[in-house]
Amino acid sequence: MINFKHPKDVHLGYFEHLRFTWFESIRLAGMCLIMFIHGLIPFIFDHSFSSYIEKSSERIKKIGT
């Protein structure tokens, strides 16, 4: 289902929502690279993904407040 009111539902304007999602996408792309490296060399970046998840969750909770 398409929700045209989604940005307003999360208390953001269209461009604020766009900016937030693009920055999160860039962060996620970086984390994908870190996790790929961690898979090859497991003793580095050992807590990076869990830290990323926690920080992402906090950013989402703060959005539009």
User: pLDDT digits over 5-36, tens only?
Assistant: 999 989 999 999 999 999 999 999 999 999 99
Q: How far, in Å, CA of 8 to CA of 43, rounded?
A: 43
pLDDT attached to residue 18: 95
Confidence of residue 63 (pLDDT cuts 50, 70, 90): confident
Q: Is the pLDDT of residue 65 over 90?
A: no
Q: In whole numbers, what is the pLDDT of the chain averaged over residues?
A: 93
Contacts of 56 (CB under 8 A, 6+ apart): 24, 27
